[in-house]
Amino acid sequence: MTNIALITGITGQDGSFLAEFLLSKGYEVHGTIRRSSVDFRERIMHLEGAPHFHLHYADLGDSMSIIQVLNKVRPTEIYNLAAQSHVQVSFDSPEFTADVDATGVLRILEGVRQCGLAKTCRIYQASTSELYGKVEEVPQNENTQFHPYSPYAVAKLYGYWIVKEYREAYNMYCCSGILFNHESERRGETFVTRKITLAAARIAQGKQDKLYLGNLSSLRDWGYAKDYVECMWLILQHETPEDFVIATGVQHSVREFCQLAFHHVGIELEFKGEGADEKGIDKTTGKVIVEVSEDFYRPTDVVNLLGDPTKAKAKLGWNPAKTSFEELVKIMVEADIVKVAAEVAGEKVRTNLVEYLEKGIVK
Ligand code: NAP
Ligand code: G4F
C-alpha cells in the first residue's frame, strides 16, 4: 500500500524539507496551501508538477476546508506543521495565534475522527521547546515541567495536551515532537538566525550598514532543519505513539551566533557594553556593526533553552550531532552570500540595461 502523507504548512521551512524527504521515501505527498496576493511558494516551487506531489487549499482556521482535504486525500500520515510560528508576532496577534496554533490542532484531530480515519491515520503535531518557556530546569527533557511564556507557547501547549487527550480518549496514533530551534538556509527572514546571516552577507557586500537586534544574551539549542524533519518521520514510524524531545544538546547565545556568522564573511566582531548599550564592533575597522534596539525586546522572553535528546537517540536511533552548530552557521551564511550576490548582479544588469536604453544601444 502506498503511504499517503498530508503536510499542513508545506510552504514553510520544515514543510518544504519534509516534502522532499517523504518524496525520496516513495510517499504520495499532499500539502495544504493558503491563498495569498503575493508569491508564497518559493520553498516548494521546484516540487510543483512532480508526479507524486499535490497541493490543496485549506486553512487551519477553517474546519470545512480541513474536512474537505481529509476526505479527498485519505492520508495515512498527517504532519501538522501549519502555525503562526513567530513568537514576537504572537504578542501582536494573540487571538489569531490561538485560533491557528491551538484550536487548529483540534480541528485536525476531530476532522480525522469525523472522516473515519482515526484507526488508519497517524498524526504528528509540531510542538515546541517554547513550552518550557521560563524554564524550570536545564537541560529540558520529556519530563520537564512546562512554563509557557508567550501567547504562542500557551497556544502550542493546548495543541500538545489535546493531542495527548485524543491519544488516550480515542486510542488514536497521534504524538508531539517537542522540537528545539532548528534553522536553515530556508528559515524565515525575521527569525534571529536568518536575520543575522542575511545581514552578514549584505554588510559584507555593501548592501546594508548595520544590524539591529534585541536580546543578545538569549540562549538557544540550534539544530539543522533538514535533520529535524527526518526525526518527525521517525516519530511516526515508532511502534507506539509517544512524545519526543528533539534537540542537539548544545547551547549558544545570539551574540555567539553573530560572531560566527560575521567571521564567515571576514568580519571579526568584538562586543562591548551592556544591555541596550551593547555594540558589536568590527575589530579591524572599529566600525559599529551590531546595535541593540529595544524594538526587538519581547514582553516576556525565553532565554535558556537546552534540550536533552537522550530519548530520541535511544528509541528512534536519531543522531543529534549530524550537523554541528558551526556547520549550520556556515551553510546559512554561504547560502545568503550567494543570494545577495545574485541580487547585486541583478541590480547591475538592470542599471546597465537602463543606460543602454537611454543611449539607444539597445531598443
Ligand atoms: P514557518 O516557516 O513559519 O511555516 C509555517 C507554515 O504554516 C507555513 O506554511 C504557513 O503558510 C502555514 N500557516 C500559517 N498559518 C496557517 C493557517 N491559518 N492555515 C494553514 N497554514 C498556515 O514554520 P517552520 O519553522 O517551518 O515550523 C513548522 C512548525 O513547527 C510550526 O508549527 C512551528 O510552530 C513549529 N516549530 C518550529 C520550530 C523551529 O525552530 N523552526 C521549533 C519548534 C516548533 P504560509 O506560507 O501561507 O504563511
Ligand atoms: O529566532 P527567534 O525569533 O526564535 P524563537 O523565539 O526561539 O522561536 C522559534 O523557535 C521556537 C522553538 O523554541 C519555535 F517554536 C518558534 O516557532 C520559532 O521557530 O528568537 C530567538 C531568540 C529570542 O530570545 C529573541 O528574543 O533571539 C532573540 N532575539 C534577539 N534579537 C531576536 C532578535 N529574535 C528575533 N526574531 N529578532 C531579533 O532581532
Query: Averaged in consecutive runs of 10 residues, what is the pLDDT profile of the chain (363 residues)?
Result: 93 98 98 90 94 97 98 98 98 98 98 98 98 98 98 99 98 98 98 98 97 98 98 98 98 98 98 98 98 98 98 98 98 98 91 89 81
Question: What is the pLDDT, as a whole number, of residue 313?
Answer: 98
Q: Which residue has the cell 474537505?
A: 68
130 counts as catalytic: yes
Q: Is the CB of 197 under 6 A from ligand 2?
A: no
User: Could you tell me if residue 105 is inside a domain?
Assistant: yes
Residue 238's SS3 state is coil
CA 82 to ligand 1 center in whole angstroms:
4
Number of neighbours of residue 147 by Cβ within 10 angstroms: 14
190 counts as catalytic: no
User: Could you tell me if residue 197 is inside a domain?
Assistant: no
SS3 content of the chain, % helix, strand, coil (to 5): 45, 15, 40
Distance CA 213, CA 341 (A): 24
Question: What is the pLDDT, as a whole number, of residue 362?
Answer: 81
Which atom of ligand 2 approaches the CA of 212 most closely? 39
Q: Is the CB of 304 under 6 A from ligand 2?
A: no
User: Could you tell me if residue 357 is inside a domain?
Assistant: no
CA 85 to ligand 1 center in whole angstroms:
5
Strands, sheet with 77-80, edge to edge from the N-terminal-most edge strand:
53-57, 28-33, 4-8, 77-80, 122-128, 174-179, 244-246
Question: What is the pLDDT, as a whole number, of residue 69?
Answer: 98
Which of 21, 13, 84 lies closest to 42, judged by CA? Answer: 13
Cell reading at 198: 542575511
CA 86 to ligand 2 center in whole angstroms:
7
For residue 99, the ligand closest to its alpha carbon is 1
Give the domain CATH number at 68.
3.40.50.720
With contact defined as beta carbons under 8 Å apart, do 147 and 132 qualify?
Answer: yes
Burial status of residue 350 (CB atoms within 10 A of its CB: 0-12, 13-18, 19 or more): exposed
Residue 129's SS3 state is helix
CA 51 to ligand 1 center in whole angstroms:
25
Q: Is the CB of 218 under 6 A from ligand 2?
A: yes
Question: What is the pLDDT, as a whole number, of residue 52?
Answer: 96
Which domain range does residue 136 map to? 4-179
Check 32, 128, 144, 193 and give the catalytic one.
Answer: 128
**Single pTM value for the model:** 0.97
User: Could you tell me if residue 118 is inside a domain?
Assistant: yes
Question: What is the pLDDT, as a whole number, of residue 339?
Answer: 97
Question: What is the pLDDT, as a whole number, of residue 1?
Answer: 65
User: Could you tell me if residue 112 is inside a domain?
Assistant: yes
- Write the residue with the smallest CA distance to atom 27 of ligand 2: 192
User: Could you tell me if residue 363 is inside a domain?
Assistant: no
Q: Is the CB of 90 under 6 A from ligand 1?
A: no
CA 65 to ligand 1 center in whole angstroms:
18
Dihedral angle computed from the Cα positions of residues 107, 108, 111 and 113, in that order, rounded to the nearest 10 degrees: -120
Residue type, 252: H
User: Could you tell me if residue 297 is inside a domain?
Assistant: no
User: Could you tell me if residue 310 is inside a domain?
Assistant: no
Q: Is the CB of 235 under 6 A from ligand 1?
A: no
Distance CA 118, CA 103 (A): 18
- Write the residue with the smallest CA distance to atom 11 of ligand 1: 9
Distance CA 348, CA 342 (A): 10
For residue 108, the ligand closest to its alpha carbon is 1
Q: How many domains does the chain contain in total?
A: 1
